[in-house]
Amino acid sequence: MHFITILSHFFDLITKILDFFNPFSYSRKKKGHTGKSRVNLNDEIAKSDNFFARRKDSSSDSDFHDCINLTICETGEKTSKVKKTRDRFNKKQECNSHPVNSTKQTNYSSDKRSLSIRNPPRQSKYQGDIQPANQIRTSRHEDGIDYRRNNDCYSPPIYHDYYSPQNGYRFNNGWSFHPSYHYRTLIYPYTEEGRKKIAQETMKIIKEGGYTLQNGKYIDISSKIQDSKYHTRTYRPYHQFSHTNQPFMHYCTIEVTNESTFTAALRVKQTYGIRETCVLNFASANKPGGGFLNGRQAQEEDLARQSSLSSSLTYNTKMYDYHNRHLHDYYYADYLIYSTNVVIFRDDEEQLIDNPYRVSIISAVAVNKKKLIESGNIDDEKVNQTMENRCRKILELCISQNNKAIVLGAFGCGVFGNSPSDVAQIFHKLLFEEKYGKHFSYVVFAITSKGYTTDQNLKQFQRIFNKY
């Protein structure tokens, strides 16, 4: 009997040793349970897969937020062990889940709909491409976290405004959620590579004279492009405009708005029925269209990608030839290019539209105050005087071409470094004190607020024009 008892204890010891070294089972204490219970991690993985499969197939807000709440309320111990076992043994197919790694620093907001991640967003391997949604379902990164640039937080599931059910493409301004599954794509207008492709497509449209919409409809704009190209004219600095012969309007409405240049022009044409509308292009001194072919993003580059502007500018190169011969004169000359009835065929999201419209565009170069400061040859009085003369010529040219509305902006207040307060005061002086505003029915300062600099530009123009 004594020998049998010893043998029984020996087999119990062997069993415990085997359990200790078995990766698929272990003993642990459960909360509220005094004894030990054996838990199989394969069962844990199966439960996890069922949980995330239920999350993947869910299409309702309640199920989705239940999943988020459950993920947040987990202690992190079970999730990390499930992940460790899956990565170690590679037994299960990696689920389409996004668990939170307990080793990362996270901020849990009071509203469990959002989960902010301090780590910066990862760059997508689909950068610059538009991929079909069914080809870009994502799995976890090697550290167990998916990074999404949606204000750096998880947002409620939505169908994005730019989802096309015909071809299954998603057009969004970052990484977002879909109710039935998650996808990640960094789309055209928000990447340099994407803007390059849009610019190349725009040049192809200008060359071929038309484009085809997603519904198969072909839009022919060849005659309009040629008409704009051959009626574009360059005005030299000493040209005198006969604007005084134009009649005064009964009233003039001046607006400072947070919108793009072409959006403001289209709004004025559609809302107020003013066909004779002109916009100001903050032109590059050395290259037609600026750096839009290289994917740069600024006011002129946006105009060039969305319209046939580059066609008219490349046909009239006198201004660029002069500035390329005088590279270090950062005051630049009072050259103006008037492009008549430029065809606009893209919207603000760079999507082709089925009803292209036309506006005239004045291309002028602002003083490059930033370069003058760097060279040490800055003269603030000369800068302000040069900017005032150039803005006066812009208004005179617009009036002489019988335009009843003009869309202006924070001229030269971007990379050229001019003060938005000074530029706003210059335009205010010209429109009110020198009475150029009486020749227009509508004057719009369209300033898109996308960051700190543009936000300050908008605030300064609103401050100047709201004082009077």
Domain-wise residue ranges, the chain = 43-186, 192-466
pLDDT for the residue numbered 157: 33
Distance between CA 1 and CA 264 in Å, rounded?
99
Please classify residue 209 by burial: count the beta carbons closer than 10 Å to its beta carbon, then call 0-12 exposed, 13-18 middle and 19+ buried.
middle
* 24: amino acid identity, one letter: F
Distance between CA 3 and CA 342 in Å, rounded?
102
* 243: amino acid identity, one letter: H
CATH for the 192-466 domain, from 3.40.50.2300, 3.20.20.70, 3.40.220.10, 1.20.1250.20: 3.40.220.10
CA dihedral 372, 376, 381, 384 (to 10 degrees): 10
Tokens coding 266: 């289209």
Residues of the chain with pLDDT below 70 are 1-2, 19-188, 452, 467-468
Match 């976290």 to its residue by tokens: 145
120: alpha, beta or left? (left if phi > 0; alpha if psi -120 to 50):
beta
Backbone angles phi, psi at 464, to 5 degrees: -65, -45
Number of H helices, E strands in the chain: 14, 15
3-state secondary structure of 212: strand
CB 299 within 8 A of CB 282: yes
Strand-pair category, 352-364 with 277-282: parallel
Distance between CA 195 and CA 173 in Å, rounded?
13
Match 């977002």 to its residue by tokens: 176
Distance between CA 37 and CA 370 in Å, rounded?
72
Question: How far, in Å, are 100, 119, 122, 124 from residue 149 at the CA level?
Answer: 16, 11, 8, 10
For the stretch 59-108, pLDDT in tens is: 444 443 333 333 333 333 434 444 444 454 444 444 444 444 433 343 43
Q: Hey, which bits of 133-258 come out as E strands?
A: 162-164, 169-171, 210-212, 218-220, 233-235, 253-257
* 108: amino acid identity, one letter: Y
Please classify residue 134 by burial: count the beta carbons closer than 10 Å to its beta carbon, then call 0-12 exposed, 13-18 middle and 19+ buried.
exposed
CB 444 within 8 A of CB 264: yes
3-state secondary structure of 345: strand
Tokens coding 247: 């009649």
Distance between CA 7 and CA 13 in Å, rounded?
10
Contacts of 229 (CB under 8 A, 6+ apart): 308, 311, 312, 315
Strand-pair category, 405-408 with 442-446: parallel
Tokens coding 167: 């071809």
Paired residues of 162 in beta bridges? 171
Among residues 133, 135, 195, the alpha carbon closest in space to that of 164 is found at: 133
CB 64 within 8 A of CB 179: yes
pLDDT for the residue numbered 111: 39
Contacts of 124 (CB under 8 A, 6+ apart): 175, 184, 185, 186
Tokens coding 97: 């889940």
Contacts of 438 (CB under 8 A, 6+ apart): 248, 249, 252
pLDDT for the residue numbered 10: 78
Neighbours of 57 (CB within 10 A): 10
Q: How many residues does the chain have?
A: 468
